[in-house]
Amino acid sequence: MQSCRHIGFVVAAVLASSTLAPVSADAIVVDDDGGAGVDHTTIVDALAAAIDGDLILVKDGAYSGFAVGDLTVTITADAGATVSVTSGVTVSGLSSTRSVALYGLDIDANFGGIGMILSNNDGPIHIERCVIAGSGVAVFQINHGVQMFNCDAVTFVECGIGVGFDAGAYAGLTTSSSTVCLYECVISAGDAFIDQVPGAAGCQVSSGFLFASGTTFFGGRGGDGIVQAPFMICTDGSDGGAGLLVTGGADARVLDCTFIGGPGGAAGDAGCSPGATGPGISGVTTSYAVPAHTYDIPSPVREGDVAAFTINGEPGELVWIFFGVEQDPTFSNKLKGCLSPPGDALLLFIGTLPASGQFVLPASVPIFAGSDCFQLWEQVLYWNSPTKFKLSNPRLSVILDETL
């Protein structure tokens, strides 16, 4: 295992003299092929060996699902690696002083039911560039992509969340009594596999709070009608599901999102009617009339590399970047988003966006003697006169020693 500290490559020189002190931890290398420099061949074994603050670096391969308990840990795919997780993942019981981050994982329940379950977590969870799919037998299993309840702060960034083929009319994401922020995600319900079953909502929020920016929601297809014996009477097709379904007094706020209701099922016969297309949104939401703003960085990167971070917004906007050594997501109506770095994060002024509306800023990844990995939470803040402040999506930045 390797020594690891939290720091950021974009403002390394500033951080060296700032109040953002590095935090010691370990990097644990996982590779299902084994070999030199590998600590474990499964994510499960790596988690069993991990302590608070560890980073688990996963090489290319296929791995069984895993469960994270009350532990501060980051699990990230290596740069360019395809990491397939072949059964469900759970994160449960996080206390308020601990946090979890998952990055670059392709998670498929593979007929095991729900792709990911997040339950009873007081600490924050960040899930970035992951694909998560529920999968199972529609009649006998619940097959949501992600099921969440009693979670205090969950953030998804650039994730695909859905339900596998023929897994049934289940929501891509279902959440209750939780706070969740979605950035640049695609959320898709499963199609009704059984005749006469209504389509499921792409995302169902039954209580709690949801904020979504630049996210697309797809409702599921309704079930087909049938022709019933012995009199051969047809039935109508079932209605498609909503893109977003908000119930139970939930507070849902959306910014520059797309909502597509599922198609209705086919009629059982010519004498009956097809189901109706589902609504884009069912329930009450609050909308912000500003475009989504995005921030992109490569991660993980290695010391000595040249990397670039890309800021997209509107021409003439003033731009700052937050940098923090931990995640502490808090929704701000004034900032029109969830600020991921904590209140004591470093805020660095970048400049004014040019006519293209984009900054592409190259950076040499610094080398820190005696340190093998670093981790930082980053997010862009924008301001212009008409719409005032707004936030980009947050990003997790991980730097690895060139020997890892």
Quick check: helix, strand or coil at residue 201? Answer: coil
pLDDT beyond 80 at 345: yes
**Per the structure block, which two tokens stand in for 263?**
């198609």
Q: Residue 368: what pLDDT?
A: 62
pLDDT beyond 60 at 141: yes
Residue with the bigger pLDDT between 217 and 196: it is 217
Average pLDDT over residues 186-203: 91
Q: Residue 276: what pLDDT?
A: 96
Whether residue 300 has a cis bond before it, omega within 30° of 0:
yes
Which residue has tokens 């706020």?
Answer: 253
**What's the 3-state SS for 314-353?**
CCCCEEEEEEECCCCCEEECCCCEEECCCCCCEEEEEEEC
pLDDT in tens, 273-307: 999 999 999 999 999 999 999 999 999 998 888 88
Q: Of 278, 244, 274, 246, whose CA–CA distance to 261 is shortest?
A: 278
* pLDDT above 70 coverage of the chain, percent: 93
| Arithmetic mean of pLDDT over the chain | 91
Quick check: helix, strand or coil at residue 48? Answer: helix
pLDDT beyond 70 at 20: no
Split at pLDDT 50, 70, 90, the class of 369 is low
pLDDT in tens, 24-40: 458 999 999 999 999 99
Instruction: Kindly tell me the number of DSSP H helices and DSSP E strands found in the chain.
Output: 2, 39
Average pLDDT over residues 368-395: 89
* Residues 253 and 288: beta-carbon distance below 8 Å: yes
Q: Residue 7: what pLDDT?
A: 35
C-alpha span between 210 and 287 (Å, rounded): 12
Split at pLDDT 50, 70, 90, the class of 2 is very low
Split at pLDDT 50, 70, 90, the class of 255 is very high
Q: Of 187, 400, 184, whose CA–CA distance to 298 is shortest?
A: 400
Q: Which helix (H) or strand (E) holds 46?
A: helix 43-49
Residue with the bigger pLDDT between 138 and 159: it is 159
Whether residue 230 has a cis bond before it, omega within 30° of 0:
yes
pLDDT beyond 60 at 3: no
C-alpha span between 282 and 98 (Å, rounded): 35
Average pLDDT over residues 323-335: 93
Q: Residue 4: what pLDDT?
A: 46
Q: Of 299, 340, 307, whose CA–CA distance to 321 is shortest?
A: 340
Neighbour count for residue 253 (Cβ, 10 Å): 18
Q: Residue 233: what pLDDT?
A: 86
Domain range list for the chain: 294-400
C-alpha span between 137 and 166 (Å, rounded): 8
Instruction: Report phi then psi at 90, rounded to 5.
Output: -130, 145
Split at pLDDT 50, 70, 90, the class of 367 is low
Split at pLDDT 50, 70, 90, the class of 377 is very high
Split at pLDDT 50, 70, 90, the class of 177 is very high
Average pLDDT over residues 147-172: 95
Note the residue count of the chain: 404
Q: Residue 17: what pLDDT?
A: 41
- The residues pairing with 331 across neighbouring beta strands, listed in sequence order, are 338
Q: Residue 317: what pLDDT?
A: 97
pLDDT beyond 50 at 237: yes
pLDDT beyond 60 at 184: yes
Q: Residue 107: what pLDDT?
A: 98
* Residues 152 and 100: beta-carbon distance below 8 Å: no
Contacts of 287 (CB under 8 A, 6+ apart): 253, 254, 255
Neighbour count for residue 142 (Cβ, 10 Å): 15
Q: Of 165, 174, 124, 166, whose CA–CA distance to 145 is shortest?
A: 174
DSSP 119-173: EEE-S-EEEES-EEEEBS-TTT----SEEEEEES-EEEES-EEEE-TTS-S--SE
* pLDDT above 90 coverage of the chain, percent: 76
294-400 carries CATH number 1.10.10.10: no
Average pLDDT over residues 363-379: 78
pLDDT in tens, 199-224: 999 999 999 999 999 999 999 999 99
Q: Residue 64: what pLDDT?
A: 98
Average pLDDT over residues 110-139: 95
C-alpha span between 43 and 49 (Å, rounded): 10
Amino acid code (one letter) for 323: F
Residue with the bigger pLDDT between 194 and 215: it is 215
